[in-house]
Every structure is written in structure tokens, then in C-alpha cells.
């Protein structure tokens, strides 16, 4: 007994310490929430932030620029202040601030700070470029500055009046590529039996589980649509920089030789190629902006307003939702399609159908635009959404689909119940095909753990388990469902596009197309962006020029709104002191971590798939 006492004392100490830490954590969270409420009240009384006359609007996208923000829980917002899954910037926010600033006398210029910008689809880049070009019509300058420009950042920067690159920086235009991890040898080594069922030789989403490399069919199709995107990229950037696509392509292809000619100095190489206008250190960038916007003596920098503060100052007076009278409702469908309900960032069959139904039942809404940015997912959920769109059409409300960066497979399935389909030339679409997967683990369980499964059942289906070989009759039944699903897909596309079954099959078979090629093949009606689709929907509803645009979204709770507001204010406050709030999972890691993260992302995507029949229409063709 005496020997136990010394050991119990540390336990009591650590237990007391744990309780104290837990109480401290709860107190901290409660104080944060109280501060948030007080801050919201004070902000409401004060009338919101003020925009100093002559200030430069700082557009500094954080992370990926997206059509819809991935949902963040209040706990994420408090714990990470940016939420799990990495920072994101909403495309609509960028477009709105640029449109509003164009005619705002308080704004003297735009400063593009792109160092923390992550990925963006080609249609997103095109939309931002168009907004910058429109802003420049006001005569106000756009200055882009950065330490390093990858190809996506450079696409945005190219549409500025001046590009300032740090002397130690570089411009790296990599070109488009699609590389995936293939698991066939690993699956065989582990002894997993990966049963795959599909239709279409171009349905390459399942190839990593069947092969160790990309099939010739997949290479052919991918090079074709990526070639379209690459030509569009070169053309757009070359036009903005007053050069030629050939000159820009030559810079990319001859990079090693050009870098050697520049003495190994990538900054000088970019300047010699006229990709940037000037090499400028941070103090020189600051001095240039002071010339344009004046000096903020207190901050010892140029007069400026952040994008978040400017949005807050705009309040409800946002360009994207201005207007009066009857409405065109926009429903955003972004992410993988899953069965049931899903938070923003994924497309839930039930939750997205509910948003469409809300628009359909709103008497003020006269037309619906579905903005699709999805490579697909659950075939069952896709049909739920398609059916809801058809009900809107039956209610005499025009439905127009606007395709974003990706609208393929299930993303195309849901587009078939529409009066018109718009896509950008750079949209990734098509991939009309179906597949299913059912892995079983009986071999590794037996070999490595000595575990075996045996028993009896009244029917073959009673023995369908992950730890038992798939019965042949079950495999045959699944393939029959896949075949039927493909025929259903062809039938829906044929009815929507006024094509025969064989005509659709000729452009289907799981093949991915660019938006331009899809239009040539009758899968898309017109080429254009979201604003074009909205205008077309208004015209179909005979609304004339007087209409408003409303985004139909899941209503956030008061607590979620308050937490989101607090997160934004905390980020702005941190920025004033030179800090950036980034979740731990977004901290830079080494090459090995990057590889593991890519595999983890694919595993996370597969884990979310929940089609009740195990039937999927997905292309897994997003460029990352």
C-alpha cells in the first residue's frame, strides 16, 4: 500500500492539471464568444468600417479561389481561425470588390498581393482577369507584386498595368499536367481484390486500381483537353502582356537555356523576357504604391483598404446581387456529389435539391441558374438533383446551367434537365460514363492475420462482405447495374440534347472534353460565363433589364454568422501586426509530406462516396 502512494501523487497532480487546462480552454472559448458578440454590437452601432478617400484596394487572395467556400464549423473557426482544410477565397468576393471599386471615388488603385494565392480553375482565372480588365477601364492603375509567380498567380498578375517581382523571385509557368498515383502493384502486394465495374474505355477514374500507368486512351483524351486549356492560357496571358502565344510558349520550353543566359538569375530572366515590368524589393513596392495612393503616416505604408474590410463596408450593396423586381436565383453546386445532405464544399443530393426546391417555390424567383463546379460522384444523388431541376422546368421556370472549371460525369448528369447549358471554352466537361468499385480483403486477412470467413446463407447476397471474396453472381449483378446506369445516362443526355443513343455514345464512353470541344459536339449550347448564363435566364423568363440576382444558400445559424464574423475580424487584426493565421495542417512541409497529402486527399474523397448502390459518375479529372 505504501508503494502505491508515491505513484498516486503524480496521477493526482496531472489529473488536477488536466482539469485546470480544460477549464481554461472553456473559459477562453467563452470569452472569445463574448468578445465576438460585443464586437458585433459595437460594429452595428458604429455603422461598419470606413473607407479612407484615395485608398488603394488590396486584393490578396488566401488559398484556393473557389466558387463556394467549404463549410467551417464554429469549433474550427475558434480553434484555427481559418477552419480546417486550408484557407479559401470566394470568387464572388473578388469579382464584387473589383466591380464596386471601379466606380468608387474613394478607391484610387488596386494592389494585387498574390503571394498567398493557391490554386484556381481556368474559368476562375478567366473571370478574375475579365474583372481586372473591366476595372482598368476606369483609368485607375492595377499593380501586381509578388515574391514568386506560379502559372496561376501569373495569369492574374498579367492583367495588371504593372508587374513588380522581387529581385530574388521568379516566374514559373509550368504548363498543365495530370498525374495520379497508381496502386495496382500495391494492391497486389497487399493481396486486396479490387473488383471494378465500368462502361467506357475512356472512363479512367478507376485506372489507378487496375493499372500501374495511364492507359493510351486516357493519355489521348487528357492531352486533347489539356491542350485546349494550354492554348487558352497562352493566348490570354500573351494578349494581356502584349506579346504572342508563341513567344510565351518559347519562354516555357527554353527555360533552362534562358536561365543559363541570365547567369542563373530567374528574376533577370523574367525581366529580360518582359514577363515583368520591374524588379522591386518590398520597400520599392511600398514606395510605388505611396505614389498612387498617398502615405498612411500612422502605418508607415500606403493608404489602403483590405478586400474583407471593403466588403464589410459595401454591406448588402454588392454588385453581384444588385437589382430590383423579380429574381433570377443562382444555386451553386460545387464539389463531389454525395448521397443525402452535405455541407457547402460538397454537393448533397438532398441538400442541393432542397435549395433548388426553395427557388422553385419562391414566387419572386422567375428563373434558376445552376452553377456547376463538380467532377461528379454518386449517380443516385445526381438523379435526385436532376429530377428537382425538371420539376422547376415543369413549373414553367427556366433553368439554365452555367458550367465552371469542371462539370463532368455526374456534374454533366445534373445539367441534362435544363433549358440551356453554358460553358467556358476552358471548362472540363463530358466524361459521360459509369463505374463501381467493391474491394475485398480476404487474402491479406488470411495471409497476415490468419483470419478466415465462413458460414451459410439463404441466398448469395447474404455472403457479400468486405472480408470475403465477391460471389460471381453478385459481380454479374453489379455489372448489370453499371450497364443499365450507362444506358440511363445516354438516354437522359440524348433527350436533353436531341441526339440518338448512338450519337451520344460516340462522344461519351467516359471521355473528357474541353468546353469548346463539347460545344462542337452538341453537349453544350453556348460559350460564356456565369453572368452570360444569368442574363440568358432573365431573358427566357422575360424579365427585361429590371431584375435582381439572389444566391440561394443554406441559412447559417446566428452562432455560425457570429463566429465567421469574428474569424474575419481576428484575421484582419492579426494582419495589422504582421501575422497570418493559418491552420496547422496548412503549414509547409517537405516533399514526402506533399506526396502523402495527395494520397490522403484521394482517400478522403473515396471515403465520402456513399451512393446506396455503389454506382458512380465521376471523372476525378480536376487539375490540382
Catalytic site positions: 203, 409
In this predicted model, what pLDDT tens digit does every residue of 393-441 receive, in sequence order? 999 999 999 999 999 999 999 999 999 999 999 999 999 998 888 888 8
The Cα-based distances of 569 to 73, 118, 566 in angstroms read: 17, 22, 5
* 417 within domain boundaries: yes
Three-state DSSP class for 11?
A: helix
- The answer on 392 and 336 residing in a single domain is yes
Q: Is the pLDDT of residue 472 over 90?
A: no
Question: Mean per-residue pLDDT for 299-306?
Answer: 92
Q: Please give the pLDDT value at position 322.
A: 79
Cβ neighbours around 403 below 10 Å, total: 31
Together in a domain, 377 and 348 = yes
Q: Where are the beta strands (DSSP E) in 353-431?
A: 365-374, 376-378, 399-408, 420-423, 428-430
Percent of the chain residues topping a pLDDT of 70 = 80
Hey, CA dihedral for 296, 300, 304, 307, is it positive or negative? Answer: negative
Grid cell in block for residue 431: 466524361
> Between these two residues, 609 and 367, which has the higher pLDDT value?
367
How many residues are present in the chain?
A: 624
Residue 251 has pLDDT above 90, yes or no: yes
Does residue 595 form part of some domain?
no
Residue 607 belongs to some domain of the structure: no
Domain assignment present for residue 217? The answer is no
Residues 330 and 312 in one domain: no
Three-state DSSP state, 464: coil
Examine residue 624 and state whether it is found in any structural domain, yes or no: no
pLDDT of 285 higher than 80: yes
Based on DSSP, count helices (H) and strands (E) in the chain, helices before strands.
Answer: 22, 24
Residue 218 is given by DSSP the state: H
Residue bearing the bigger pLDDT, 619 or 221: 221
| Cell numbers representing residue 287 in the block | 514606395
For the beta carbon of residue 451, count every other beta carbon within 10 angstroms: 12
331 and 389 co-located in one domain: yes
Residue 99, domain member (yes or no): yes
User: In this prediction, what percent of the chain has a pLDDT beyond 90?
Assistant: 61
Helix (H, G, I), strand (E, B) or coil at 174: coil
> What is the Cα–Cα distance from 602 to 612, expressed in whole angstroms?
20
Rounded mean pLDDT, 100-127: 95
Domain shared by 425 and 294, yes or no:
no
Secondary element (H or E) of residue 287 = helix 282-293
* Shared domain check, 291 and 431: no
Average pLDDT over residues 561-583: 48
Query: What per-residue confidence (pLDDT) applies to 378?
Result: 93
Give the bridge partners for 57, in sequence order. 110, 305
**Of 500, 523, 551, which residue constitutes the final position of a domain?**
551
- pLDDT range class, residue 49, cuts 50, 70, 90: confident
Q: Does 54 have pLDDT greater than 80?
A: yes
Do 528 and 489 share a structural domain?
Answer: yes
CATH number assigned to the domain comprising residue 76: 3.90.226.10
Same domain, 15 and 39: yes
Asked if the model's pLDDT at residue 595 lies above 70, the reply is no
Q: Is the pLDDT of residue 588 over 90?
A: no
Q: Does 330 share its domain with 287?
A: no
CA triple 619-482-465, angle to 5 deg: 100
- Predicted confidence at residue 82, as pLDDT, reads 39
Structural domain tally of the chain? 3
543 and 569 share a domain?
no
Do 275 and 381 share a domain, yes or no? no
Any domain includes 293: yes
Site of grid cell 428563373: 367
Residue 357, domain member (yes or no):
yes
- Which of 481, 435, 433, 567 is CA-nearest to residue 87? 567
Mean pLDDT check: name the lowest of 61-75, 169-183, 422-436.
61-75
Whether the CB-CB separation of 541 and 531 falls below 8 Å is answered with no
Per residue in 511-564, pLDDT (tens digit) is 999 999 999 999 999 999 999 999 999 999 999 988 999 999 987 555 545 555
331 - beta bridge partners?
370
| Average pLDDT of the segment spanning 126-136 | 96
CA distance 103 to 590: 45
**Residue predicted with more confidence, 12 or 396:** 396
d(CA 285, CA 176): 31
Mean pLDDT of the chain: 85
* Shared-domain flag, residues 435 and 527: yes
Question: Would you call 476 helix, strand, or coil by DSSP?
Answer: helix
Give the per-residue pLDDT at 8: 52
Residue 212 confidence (pLDDT) above 50: yes
Residue 266 confidence (pLDDT): 95
Residue 65 CB-density burial (10 A; 0-12 exposed, 13-18 middle, 19+ buried): buried
pLDDT score at 197:
87
Domain carrying residue 104: 55-175+243-316+563-587
Alpha-carbon Rg for the chain, nearest whole angstrom, is: 27
Please give the average per-residue pLDDT across 223-242, as a whole number: 95
Residue 138 has pLDDT above 80, yes or no: yes
Predicted local distance difference test score (pLDDT) of residue 604: 63
Amino acid at each position: 500500500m505504501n508503494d502505491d502512494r508515491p505513484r498516486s501523487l503524480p496521477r493526482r497532480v496531472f489529473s488536477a492539471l488536466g482539469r485546470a487546462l480544460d477549464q481554461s480552454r472553456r473559459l477562453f472559448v467563452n470569452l472569445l464568444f463574448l468578445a465576438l458578440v460585443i464586437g458585433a454590437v459595437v460594429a452595428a452601432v458604429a455603422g461598419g468600417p470606413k473607407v479612407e478617400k484615395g485608398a488603394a484596394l488590396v486584393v490578396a487572395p488566401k488559398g484556393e479561389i473557389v466558387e463556394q467556400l467549404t463549410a467551417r464549423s464554429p469549433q474550427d473557426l475558434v480553434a484555427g481561425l481559418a477552419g480546417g482544410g486550408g484557407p479559401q477565397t470566394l470568387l464572388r468576393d473578388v469579382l464584387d470588390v473589383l466591380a464596386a471599386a471601379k466606380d468608387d471615388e474613394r478607391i484610387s488603385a488596386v494592389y494585387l498581393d498574390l503571394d498567398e494565392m493557391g490554386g484556381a480553375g481556368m474559368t476562375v482565372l478567366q473571370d478574375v482577369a475579365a474583372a481586372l480588365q473591366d476595372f482598368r477601364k476606369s483609368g485607375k492603375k492595377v499593380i501586381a507584386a509578388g515574391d514568386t509567380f506560379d502559372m496561376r498567380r501569373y495569369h492574374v498578375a498579367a492583367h495588371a498595368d504593372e508587374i513588380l517581382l522581387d529581385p530574388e523571385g521568379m516566374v514559373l509557368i509550368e504548363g498543365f499536367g495530370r498525374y495520379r498515383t497508381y496502386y495496382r502493384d500495391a494492391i497486389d502486394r497487399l493481396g486486396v481484390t479490387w473488383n471494378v465495374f465500368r462502361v467506357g474505355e475512356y472512363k479512367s477514374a478507376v485506372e489507378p486500381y487496375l493499372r500501374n500507368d495511364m492507359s493510351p486512351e486516357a493519355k489521348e483524351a487528357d492531352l486533347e483537353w489539356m491542350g485546349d486549356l494550354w492554348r487558352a492560357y497562352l493566348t490570354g496571358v500573351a494578349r494581356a502582356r502584349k506579346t504572342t502565344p508563341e513567344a510565351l510558349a518559347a519562354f516555357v520550353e527554353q527555360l533552362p537555356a534562358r536561365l543559363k543566359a541570365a547567369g542563373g538569375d530567374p528574376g533577370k530572366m523574367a525581366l529580360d523576357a518582359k514577363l515583368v515590368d520591374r524588379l522591386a524589393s518590398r520597400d520599392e513596392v511600398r514606395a510605388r504604391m505611396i505614389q498612387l495612393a498617398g502615405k498612411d503616416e500612422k502605418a508607415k505604408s500606403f493608404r489602403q483598404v483590405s478586400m474583407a474590410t471593403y466588403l464589410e463596408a459595401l454591406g448588402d450593396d454588392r454588385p453581384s446581387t444588385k437589382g430590383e423586381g423579380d429574381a433570377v436565383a443562382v444555386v451553386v453546386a460545387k464539389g463531389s456529389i454525395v448521397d443525402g445532405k452535405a455541407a457547402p464544399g460538397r454537393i448533397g443530393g438532398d441538400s442541393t435539391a432542397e435549395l433548388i426546391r426553395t427557388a422553385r417555390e419562391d414566387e419572386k424567383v422567375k428563373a434558376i441558374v445552376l452553377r456547376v463546379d463538380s467532377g461528379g460522384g454518386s449517380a443516385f444523388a445526381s438523379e435526385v438533383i436532376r429530377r428537382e431541376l425538371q420539376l422547376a422546368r415543369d413549373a414553367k421556370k427556366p433553368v439554365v446551367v452555367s458550367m465552371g472549371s469542371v462539370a463532368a460525369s455526374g456534374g454533366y448528369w445534373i445539367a441534362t434537365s435544363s433549358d440551356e447549358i453554358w460553358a467556358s471554352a476552358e471548362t472540363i466537361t463530358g466524361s459521360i460514363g459509369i463505374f463501381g468499385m467493391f474491394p475485398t480483403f480476404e487474402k491479406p486477412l488470411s495471409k497476415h492475420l490468419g483470419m478466415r470467413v465462413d458460414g451459410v446463407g439463404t441466398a448469395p447476397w447474404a455472403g457479400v462482405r468486405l472480408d470475403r471474396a465477391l460471389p460471381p453472381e453478385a459481380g454479374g449483378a453489379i455489372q448489370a447495374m453499371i450497364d443499365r446506369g450507362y444506358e440511363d445516362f445516354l438516354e437522359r443526355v440524348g433527350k436533353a440534347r436531341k441526339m440518338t443513343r448512338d450519337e451520344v455514345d460516340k462522344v461519351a464512353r467516359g471521355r473528357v472534353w474541353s468546353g469548346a470541344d463539347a460545344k462542337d459536339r452538341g453537349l453544350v449550347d453556348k460559350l460564356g460565363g456565369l453572368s452570360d448564363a444569368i442574363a440568358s435566364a432573365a431573358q427566357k423568363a422575360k424579365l427585361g433589364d429590371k431584375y435582381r440576382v439572389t444566391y440561394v444558400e443554406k441559412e447559417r445559424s446566428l452562432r455560425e454568422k457570429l463566429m465567421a464574423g469574428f474569424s474575419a475580424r481576428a484575421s484582419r487584426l492579426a494582419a495589422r501586426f504582421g501575422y497570418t493565421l493559418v491552420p496547422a495542417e496548412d503549414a509547409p512541409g517537405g516533399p514526402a509530406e506533399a506526396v502523402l497529402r495527395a494520397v490522403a486527399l484521394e482517400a478522403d474523397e473515396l471515403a465520402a462516396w456513399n451512393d446506396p448502390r455503389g454506382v458512380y459518375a465521376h471523372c476525378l479529372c480536376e487539375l490540382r
